[in-house]
Amino acid sequence: MRILELSLNNFRGIKEGSINFKNLNILIGSNNSGKTTILEGLFLTPNPFRRVPYGETAISVLSSLHSTLYSEAYAFLFHNYKDDLASITYSNNSKVKIIFQKEGSLIGVYMEENDKTYFLGRLSRDSKREEYDNLRECERENGKLRAKLSLLNIPTTDFISKTIGETIYFHPLLMKHIWNYFSYNWVEFRNAGLTSKIAKKISEAVAGEYDDLLLEPFIGNQQAIYVRTKDSRGIRLGDLGSGVQVLVTLMLLYEFIKPEILLIDDIESHMNPTLLIHSTSWFENVLRNGTKLIISTHSLEATKFITGSLEEYKPQITLLALNNGILKSRNFSLEEIENLEKKGIDARVSEGILI
Amino acid sequence: MNLRILSPPSWSISINLAKWASKLGIPLASTQPIKGIIIVGNGIPDDIICLILAHKFNGKHIMGITKPQKLGIDSIHPALELIKDEKIKNLMLIIDQEENKLSELWEKIEERFKEKGMKCKIIKKEERLHIYECFYNDYKFNALIILNGLDKPYLKHTIEDHLLEFSKELNKEIILDKNINPKEIWRKLKDKHQDIYSNLLKHGKEKIELFFPQHVKAFNFLKQIFENSRSLKIN
């Protein structure tokens, strides 16, 4: 089996560290232990400037997610906001490395893959400005990467690393971005048969029989997403509860993009155990399609349920801890987590003795 | 020394510790590194006594605290497995004496260590406190075993022996019927628990040691280990 590994250097809260993956991975650990940073690293690796189904580039989505008040600046990519060089390296049989290099008030973004280094674009350290056009080849000058002037015939936003393939990052806070994207591309979802397929799947998870998803005006001219009941009534998706919205959004996103890796942050948030059961049954389809699934959670119940139900996919539970920016991790099987519990140890809160 | 809860949040030991830590104004550690582990074999209210005593020995070091699913002497095996698997350097184990004869109980405890392949050398031996230096292959750890109970004529010897004697000291009007299970009497004093714990927190170490001698000595020993004292004397 291929060993999939992600290494991060000076990237966000992680000064240094690496983690390996299998086909199904559950990341656990205290708050600020690096779970989200790992997911975000994987989300950026195929190319931070590619267009993702949130109506923006991948890097721009993360910037919005991290902004507090009006602080959308790309300095957040560097550890402690002040380092000069950060990198994300993903390896399986081959390797891809994304490099963020401080260049005055800008950040140059480069990708190393298969002995080639490309210049992808630039970001502003102190604002949300992005600069990109087509890929460029690079050279090293005094140890620093420098873009050549000539452009390659590949638009940066269309380029994806072959080593990792497309990755999709789902966080409940991104739902509005995703629904904007859906509304722009609604006819494609509809004509691909995805809306009816997902409406039926949702009927199994909640009390109600639905046969389609609709994008129609609500009051006045405001657009809303509805589930259509068997008797042709429309119920706004938002009125079915946050958990259902999460699952519908995730399903549509996945079915439309079919990424190589699906990254889900805080799976348990908004989800009643019943919905978690249905989500897990859908995860099996995802895994059967060959997609790798990496999920972060604070819930031991969710961890045990997902890994127990999807045992045949040899799930790996990874406990993470950050100590002065150094990422530490330890992999567990479900059995090991349960054995610890018999001894009175909850792995999520016990990295102090487990790592 | 403060405690860090290692058991699942839904377990009664976690709920109880969080509740009393808040009521008594004792901080609980969260992500700080752990120097050792306290296993309370009989759970509640032993955990509160640990919370208070650990706080009295106020230092920057952190001990993890938990209770395995098995009770009393049966909690020794899971505790030792944890020590062995996770290479923990310091174990404090607190269990009730109950109706057992002390010599027989110590024999049983030492047998449990042998069953797990651990060789232990006793470095301090008191009636209800044994301190061992233990080896598992090349791995060395300290095991501090405390048996709850006092030389008082209670039906069963548990942590309540200590709490009830302390309660009596605080309030002479409390009459203890020694023919009743001390746990039962302690439960009946439920309205006074906060007052008793608060007083325990307020009193000096010397006073507490009168009522919790083996516990105070064990915590004192731990403190010496953490402070890297060369001579590990027990006062």
Please name which of B93, B81, B74 lies closest in space to residue B118, comparing C-alpha atoms. B81
Per-residue pLDDT at A50: 97
Integer Cα distance of A329 and A11 in angstroms: 17
Compute the average pLDDT of residues A138-158: 92
B62:A342 CB<8 A: no
- Per the listing, tokens 């992500």 go with B31
Q: Write down the pLDDT at residue A339.
A: 94
In angstroms, the CA B141 to CA B202 distance is 33
Separation in Å, CA of A350 to nearest CA in chain B: 5
Q: Tell me the pairing of strands A261-264 and A292-296.
A: parallel
Residue closest to B63 by CA, chosen among B232, B221, B234, B233? B221
Beta-strand pair A223-229/A210-217: antiparallel
8 Å CB contact between B148 and B53: no
Q: Calculate the average pLDDT of chain A.
A: 92
Give the DSSP letter of residue A348.
G
Please name the residue of chain A whose CA is at the shortest distance from the CA of residue B81: A343
* Cα–Cα dist A126/A82, whole Å: 12
Residues A320, B192: Cα–Cα separation, whole Å: 42
Nearest to A89 by CA among A183, A19, A145, A149: A19
Residue B191: exposure state from Cβ atoms within 10 A (0-12, 13-18, ≥19): exposed
pLDDT of residue B56: 86
Across the interface, which of B5, B78, B88 has its CB nearest the CB of A353?
B88
- Given a contact cutoff of 8 angstroms between Cβ atoms, the answer to whether A244 and A237 are in contact is yes
pLDDT of residue B148: 97
pLDDT given at position B145: 97
Contact B8 A341 (CB under 8 A): yes
Mutate which: B2, B3, B66, vs A, most A CBs within 10 A? B66
pLDDT at B233: 43
Residue B84 phi, psi (nearest 5) = -65, -50
Q: Which residues of B touch A321 (CB under 8 A)?
A: 31
Q: Which pLDDT score, from 0 to 100, does residue B192 have?
A: 93
Q: Chain B contacts of A349, Cβ < 8 Å?
A: 4-6, 9
How many Cβ pairs within 8 Å bridge chains A and B?
59
pLDDT of residue A354: 92
B13·A344 Cβ contact <8 A: yes
Mapped onto helix, strand or coil, the DSSP state of residue A292 is strand
Nearest CA in chain B to A321: B31
Cα(B24)–Cα(A348) distance, integer angstroms: 26
Q: Which residue of A has its CA nearest to B88?
A: A353
Judged against a pLDDT cut of 90, whether residue A281 lies above it is answered with: no
Residues A3-16: tens digit of each pLDDT: 799 999 999 999 99
- B36 strand-pairing partners: B63
Please tell me whether the peptide bond between B45 and the residue prior to it is cis, using omega within 30 degrees of 0: yes
pLDDT digits (tens, 9 = 90+) for A87-142: 999 999 899 999 999 999 999 999 999 889 999 999 999 888 999 999 999 999 98
Bridge partners, residue A68, by sequence: none
| A269 Cβ contact partners less than 8 Å away, ≥ 6 residues apart | A172, A246
Strands A223-229 and A234-236 turn out to be antiparallel
Type of residue at B23 = K
User: What pLDDT score does A112 carry?
Assistant: 96
Using an 8 Å CB-CB cutoff, list chain A residues near B39.
344
Contact A342 B33 (CB under 8 A): no
* pLDDT at residue A271 is higher than 90: no
β-sheet bridge partners, residue A24: A293
List, in sequence order, every residue forming a beta bridge with A102; answer none if it has no partner: A107
Determine whether the interchain pair B30/A30 forms a contact, defined as Cβ–Cβ distance below 8 Å: yes
Instruction: With CB atoms and an 8 Å threshold, state whether B6 touches A342.
Output: no
Q: What is the ipTM of this complex?
A: 0.81
| Whether B66 and A30 lie within 8 Å, measured CB to CB | no
B-side interface with A, Cβ within 8 Å? 4-9, 11, 13, 30-34, 37, 39, 62, 64, 66-70, 78-79, 81-82, 86, 88
pLDDT value of position A268: 82
Q: Is A94 helix (H, G, I), strand (E, B) or coil?
A: coil
**Burial classification of residue A53, based on how many CB atoms lie within 10 Å of its CB (0-12 exposed, 13-18 middle, 19 or more buried):** buried
* pLDDT tens per residue, range A205-242: 777 889 999 999 888 888 888 999 989 999 998 888 88
Q: Got the DSSP string for chain B?
A: -EEEE-S-TTSHHHHHHHHHHHHHT-----SS--SEEEEETT-TTHHHHHHHHHHHT--S-EEEEE--SS-GGGGHHHHHHHHHHHT-SEEEEEEE-BT--HHHHHHHHHHHHHHTT-EEEEEEEETTEEEEEEEETTEEEEEEEEEE--SS--SSBSHHHHHHHHHHHH-TT----TTS-HHHHHHHTGGGHHHHHHHHHHS-HHHHHHHSHHHHHHHHHHHHHHTT-SS----
Tokens of B41: 């074999």
Q: Is the pLDDT assigned to residue A201 strictly greater than 90?
A: no
Q: How far is A281 from chain B (nearest CA, A)?
A: 26
d(Cα A43, Cα A166) in Å, to the nearest integer?
8
Give counts: helices (H), strands (E), chain A: 10, 20
Nearest to B7 among A30, A344, A351 (CB): A344
CA-based nearest residue to B163, from B211, B127, B128: B211
The residue of A35, A332, A343 whose CB has the most chain B CBs within 10 angstroms, and thus the best one to mutate to test that interface, is A343
User: CA-to-CA distance for B234 and A188, rounded, in angstroms?
Assistant: 77
Residue A288 has pLDDT above 70, yes or no: yes
Cβ distance of A349 and B33 shorter than 8 Å = no
Tokens standing for residue B64: 């993890």
**What residue in B sits closest to A301 (Cα-Cα)?**
B8
Residue A12 neighbours by CB under 8 Å, 6+ apart: A37, A40, A41, A76, A77, A78, A79
Q: Is residue A184 predicted with pLDDT exceeding 90?
A: no
pLDDT, position A202 = 86
Q: Residue-wise pLDDT tens for chain B (235 aa)?
A: 789 999 998 899 999 999 999 999 999 988 778 899 999 999 899 999 999 999 987 777 899 999 999 999 999 999 999 999 999 999 999 999 999 999 999 999 999 999 999 999 999 999 999 999 999 988 999 999 999 999 988 888 999 999 999 999 888 777 777 777 888 889 999 999 999 999 999 998 889 999 999 999 999 999 888 887 544 444 4
Q: How far apart are CA B44 and CA A167, in angstroms?
A: 48
3-state class (DSSP) for residue A314: coil
Instruction: Among B32, B67, B88, select the one facing A344 at the smallest CB separation.
Output: B67
The closest alpha carbon to A244, from A252, A234, A254, A256, belongs to A252
Q: Are strands B90-96 and B2-5 parallel, antiparallel or unpaired?
A: unpaired
Question: B34–A353: do the CB atoms touch at under 8 Å?
Answer: yes
- The residue of A319, A336, A351, A353 whose CB has the most chain B CBs within 10 angstroms, and thus the best one to mutate to test that interface, is A353
Do A352 and B31 make contact, defined as CB atoms within 8 angstroms?
Answer: yes
- Residue A241, pLDDT score: 82
DSSP H or E stretch at residue A308:
helix A300-309
Using CA atoms, how far apart are residues B152 and A319, in angstroms rounded to an integer? 47
Q: Tokens 């409406």 sit at which residue? A: A199
Q: Do A343 and B78 touch (CB under 8 A)?
A: yes
Contact B34 A343 (CB under 8 A): no
pLDDT at A1: 52
Residue A3 DSSP one-character state: P
Tell if the CB–CB gap between A346 and B6 is shorter than 8 Å.
Answer: yes
> What local confidence, expressed as pLDDT, does residue B230 receive?
42
Sequence letter at residue A97: K
DSSP notation for A242-274: HHHHHHHHHHHHHHHH--SEEEESSTTTT--HH
* pLDDT at A22 > cutoff 90: yes
